Chains A and B, each alone.
Chain A
């Protein structure tokens, strides 16, 4: 999948809350639990299904953290692959329905 076509959305089957700069994410289907660091939280919160991953990395990661853009993109793709394998994120090469992404986690 070409990187400029990746769209990501938060699954509707998760519960999430921000705490002290980290995001707590629980998959309600199997009760698995994850904590995301600051960078991962920024990507997760921006996963609205409409914004390409490339733009999320540029605006929310490279614009906020001191990281190499190419490395940031590679890390982001690895991160979304892992979270999608746990049913936390949905990944597509087309924009995703807004029904999959609930409101931004608190």
Chain B
């Protein structure tokens, strides 16, 4: 007898997606994995999962392309194959029951949705301090996880691996994600206006340097998660990256790994706001949960 279909709604970045399965252990797994991001909101999209025994995961062989006949997206990797129709908002995923495949499918789906809406996923750690979000990006080993480990106790971790960014009335907003890196700890499900993006390098002393706009776009593009082989989305993404660079301070942060680097980060935002953004906070309207009291 076929098991009844059950649904968990997972809301990341303010976008609720229904995940449907008739496999109880898989439902339990995704509820545990996305605990803190489960939502009672009405889903905007739906993915139905068929569990199979598939090949192993590999980050290198992911393909995301449009099926031109049906105007559907095809998402493929060794461990999953998915179809998603952006017109109906519904999709079907065939994957094995491991959480890494699940994370990958969700990340790709969010990257497609965000690209249409002027946002993006960034290979960066992010955290909220005093109501403002700071992003820390860089090559593997540059210090993303180190920055989150060095953070003072009053910060709220949004992610140590994949930052979620959407345009907002005052600039851009960062959202927490359940996608974790070395810390193996999901971020908090909250949002804040982005204060700055820092590209990390480790060095003998703490300092912040300007980056020319073209260099900022180049670094940003290198770290955006974008999988689609699609001209229109590529154009939108490049326009978004240029807009982000125009609206968000982007700097190179050279740091010595101790807690004093966070003083530099906070002071940078205070000085920047005083100089350039007297009305920023008044104009910003958050669109998810309030930042927790302690943040």
Contact = CB atoms under 8 A, between A and B. Distances in A.
A35 interface: yes
B285 interface: no
Given A28-B233, A31-B226, A20 B213 contact: yes
Given A24-B221, A33-B221, A19 B234 contact: no
B212 A20 contact: yes
Interface in B204-261: 212-215, 217-218, 221-222, 226-227, 229-231, 233-235, 237-239, 241-242, 245
A31 B213 CA distance: 20
A13 interface: yes
A24 B242 CA distance: 9
Contacts of A16: 238
Contact of B231 (A12, A17, A21, A22): A12
A24 B217 CA distance: 8
Interface string B10-21: 000000000000
B192 to A, nearest CB: 27
B229 A33 contact: no
A15 B232 CA distance: 8
B239 A35 contact: no
Contacts of A31: 226-227, 229, 234
A75 B270 CA distance: 46
Most buried by B among A14, A16, A24, A30: A24
Chain A binding surface SS class: strand
Contacts of A15: 231, 234-235, 237-238
Interface string A16-48: 110111101011111101010000000000000
Interface string A44-71: 0000000000000000000000000000
A1 B183 CA distance: 56
A16 B238 CA distance: 7
Contact of A30 (B212, B222, B229): B229
A20 B229 contact: no
Nearest to B245: A19
Given A24-B221, A24-B242, A28-B234, A19 B214 contact: yes
A37 B256 CA distance: 33
Contacts of B230: 28
A55 B214 CA distance: 28
B238 A13 contact: no
Contacts of B214: 19-22, 24, 35
B267 to A, nearest CB: 27
A28 B12 CA distance: 26
Contacts of A30: 229
B239 A17 contact: yes
B231 A13 contact: yes
Contacts of A28: 229-231, 233-235
A12 B245 CA distance: 25
Contacts of B229: 28-31
A28 B242 CA distance: 16
Contacts of B227: 31
Contacts of B242: 17, 19, 24
8 contacts: A15-B235, A24-B218, A24-B221, A24-B238, A24-B242, A33-B218, A35-B215, A35-B217
The 9 closest A-B pairs by CB, nearest first: A28-B234, A15-B235, A22-B214, A15-B234, A28-B231, A15-B238, A33-B221, A20-B213, A35-B218
